[in-house]
Chains A and B, each alone.
Chain A
Amino acid sequence: MSSDQTTTWLSDFQKEFTQVLRSPLDLSSGMMRADTEKYPRKLSQQIMTEIPGAANRGLSVYNRQYWFRLFGALQSEFPLVSRLLGYWRFNGLAMRFLSEHPPQDVELHRIGRGFCAWLAQEWLARELPAKSAIPKIALIQAAHIDEEWSRIFLAPEQPRWHPSPDDAAQLLNLKFTPTATLAIIEQQWPLLALRSQLSNYPGEGAIPLPSSLAQLEHWALLRTDEGIGELLLAPRQARLYHLMSNHTLGEALATLEQECSDVPPEQLQREIASWTQQSVELGFWAKANI
């Protein structure tokens, strides 16, 4: 066999084996069973066995191992949403997502890229059972927190921006870029606190959603050398940082002043000065450019 023929032969073999691995598990029995009827007959016939049916038994180990490894990885990336749903229901969703989005990257933790958006758009919008005890928005917020937590944990280190004398002179014209280790999230339920207490809930079943907060909360999550820190933000403060991330500082301030016309201007200016300074001191910004 020439080298090209070997590559072609491997390609064909691996295509069939891939079909085995990615055959969805059958959930109908209440267990995640390998559905061996779906395996390519040609591959099954290549398996050596002295016991009838044992060929597919060996292949089913790979089939189940494939899915359960991915389930475990996705549960690790989305601990909050997987526990709120319970692993059985989460794994069913994970299998649908991963059937549509096969893992491609060598880094296992990247298999969840796009899962949060998929949950929000493809599943929660259509198929959350009406009787579900968990509001859709709580699950979306939980998935977003999980996704952002993972993103900032895995982000590369970036330099923190500090104003130079030149910057100070043209502050209002600067557009700020948030550091990759910063996330600003919102929660209507105490999801961050729940996330930190998940180890108190052994098992795989769904855990209860705590009572709703009196008002929507905004939090900054920032990775530091000590871990991921959490800082509760005032609603206007979160809005300021959002505007600063998308406009020049001058435009951001003008927009915020317009939106907060019910706040005395002196108070708003004090708040803005304090929040801006705090964000710089904490290292929210990677750079600022005109």
Chain B
Amino acid sequence: MLPRDALGLGLRIPYYDYVFEHWPDVDYFEIISENFLGPAVPPRQKLARIRERYPVVLHGVGLNLLSHEAIDERYLDDLCRLADAMDAPFFSDHLCWSGAHGMNHHDLLPTPFRPELVEYVAERIDYVQRRVGRPFAIENLSSYVTFQTSTMSEWEFYSAVVRESGSWYMLDINNIYVSSQNHGFDPLEYLRAIDFARVQQVHIAGHERQADGLIIDTHDHPVADAVWQLYRQTWAMSGGFPTLLEWDDRIPPMPVVLAELDKARRVRDGQTYE
């Protein structure tokens, strides 16, 4: 387990040089699992150096939990190997589908929220968690559509899946905010449905508001003020949780990213972060 006040960063290629020179004060790193599943040696060598100094958790985008297709066993084999090599305290992936009909779409895609899907996906999550043998945390999506065929709210669906599967929350505060704005719900109502004792980690990230008001989850900006505010409220509602900052595009120099991460410490201490 990571300490409940741990602050981590999503490890990205542009950080390597800075990390190897400065070994910054970060409690842990999170890697995108798929970047290290293949046989390529250079990424693994770099990751091994990081692991010597920091805990590493795994964050996947490819388990395809809500797909009509069977779970990819070869992928799971590779994931088990990686989780063991990192001795990861937990691993995570998304409550979504990412491929269908033999294709991999490389995106995190929504479904309607329905009770029969809770049962379907909970069974698959339980299987994956047992297979990997480590706590499996499930991340909520940001989304740009909702479906008339949904019979539950997103938070009811998400919480039911975590409960039924015996898995954990990988709660993305930015995603809750983005979807609340795009679909017109109260993010606090979402948060009140969360069992914070089962939150393994919280993600924060930046987003972009389009001219027509739609918000896109771009991970290419600093965290928005409204998301920091929601983060502060989430922290107050919980008993603490490890917090991880994701910055995936237009990545600034690492000191800028570290300064952004440090805002989380100040926000939860009730200080201003400006």
Cα–Cα distance between A225 and B41 once the two chains are bound (Å): 9
Q: Does B84 contact A (CB under 8 A)?
A: no
Q: Which residues in A have their C-beta under 8 angstroms from that of B3?
A: none
Cα–Cα distance between A1 and B117 once the two chains are bound (Å): 10
Taking a contact as CB atoms closer than 8 A, the residue among B40, B105, B112, B144 that contacts A153 in the complex is: B40
On whether the beta carbons of A103 and B102 are closer than 8 Å, the reply is no
Taking a contact as CB atoms closer than 8 A, the residue among B100, B107, B145 that contacts A69 in the complex is: B107
Cα–Cα distance between A15 and B120 once the two chains are bound (Å): 18
Q: Of all chain B residues, which has the CB nearest A15?
A: B101
Cα–Cα distance between A66 and B144 once the two chains are bound (Å): 13
Q: Does A61 contact B (CB under 8 A)?
A: yes
Cα–Cα distance between A57 and B215 once the two chains are bound (Å): 12
Taking a contact as CB atoms closer than 8 A, the residue among A47, A61, A108 that contacts B146 in the complex is: A47
Q: Does A155 contact B (CB under 8 A)?
A: yes
Q: Does B160 contact A (CB under 8 A)?
A: no
Cα–Cα distance between A101 and B40 once the two chains are bound (Å): 23
Cα–Cα distance between A66 and B41 once the two chains are bound (Å): 28
Q: Which residues in B have their C-beta under 8 angstroms from that of A108?
A: 34, 106
Known: A1-B116, A62-B144. A155 touches B105 (CB 8 A): no
Q: Which residues in A have their C-beta under 8 angstroms from that of B66?
A: 10
On whether the beta carbons of A14 and B147 are closer than 8 Å, the reply is no
Q: How far is the CB of A56 from chain B (nearest CB, A)?
A: 10
Interface locus among B67-75, B128-136, B226-234, B250-258:
B67-75
Cα–Cα distance between A1 and B212 once the two chains are bound (Å): 39
On whether the beta carbons of A154 and B39 are closer than 8 Å, the reply is yes
On whether the beta carbons of B102 and A104 are closer than 8 Å, the reply is yes
Cα–Cα distance between A204 and B108 once the two chains are bound (Å): 27
Q: Does B242 contact A (CB under 8 A)?
A: no
Q: Which residues in A have their C-beta under 8 angstroms from that of B39?
A: 154-157
Q: Of all chain A residues, which has the CB nearest B75?
A: A106
Residue among B37, B109, B117 with most chain A CB within 10 A: B109
Q: Which residues in B have their C-beta under 8 angstroms from that of A47?
A: 145-148
Q: Does A65 contact B (CB under 8 A)?
A: yes
Q: How far is the CB of B211 from chain A (nearest CB, A)?
A: 12
Q: Of all chain B residues, which has the CB nearest A228?
A: B42
18 contacts between A and B (CB under 8 A): A3-B119, A5-B116, A10-B66, A10-B100, A13-B112, A14-B67, A14-B97, A18-B103, A47-B145, A48-B147, A48-B148, A58-B145, A59-B144, A62-B144, A102-B102, A106-B34, A108-B106, A154-B38
Cα–Cα distance between A235 and B198 once the two chains are bound (Å): 64
Cα–Cα distance between A111 and B271 once the two chains are bound (Å): 46
On whether the beta carbons of A61 and B144 are closer than 8 Å, the reply is yes
On whether the beta carbons of B117 and A6 are closer than 8 Å, the reply is yes
Q: Of all chain A residues, which has the CB nearest B218?
A: A65
Contact with A along B176-216 (1 / 0, CB 8 A): 00000011000000000000000000000000000010101
Tally the A-B contacts, defined by beta carbons under 8 Å: 122
Q: Which residues in A have their C-beta under 8 angstroms from that of B116?
A: 1, 5-6
On whether the beta carbons of B75 and A48 are closer than 8 Å, the reply is no
Per the 8 Å Cβ criterion, residues 1-26 of A in contact with B are 1, 3, 5-8, 10-11, 13-15, 17-18, 21-22
Q: How far is the CB of B134 from chain A (nearest CB, A)?
A: 19
Q: Which residues in B have their C-beta under 8 angstroms from that of A227?
A: 42
Taking a contact as CB atoms closer than 8 A, the residue among A11, A55, A225 that contacts B68 in the complex is: A11
Q: Which residues in A have their C-beta under 8 angstroms from that of B120?
A: 3, 6-7, 10
On whether the beta carbons of A62 and B107 are closer than 8 Å, the reply is yes
Taking a contact as CB atoms closer than 8 A, the residue among B45, B100, B105, B146 that contacts A11 in the complex is: B100
Q: Does A70 contact B (CB under 8 A)?
A: yes
Taking a contact as CB atoms closer than 8 A, the residue among B38, B40, B145, B214 that contacts A55 in the complex is: B145
Q: Which residues in B have their C-beta under 8 angstroms from that of A55?
A: 145
Q: Does A107 contact B (CB under 8 A)?
A: yes
On whether the beta carbons of A106 and B68 are closer than 8 Å, the reply is no
Q: How far is the CB of A148 from chain B (nearest CB, A)?
A: 15
Q: Does B272 contact A (CB under 8 A)?
A: no
On whether the beta carbons of A14 and B148 are closer than 8 Å, the reply is no
On whether the beta carbons of A107 and B105 are closer than 8 Å, the reply is no
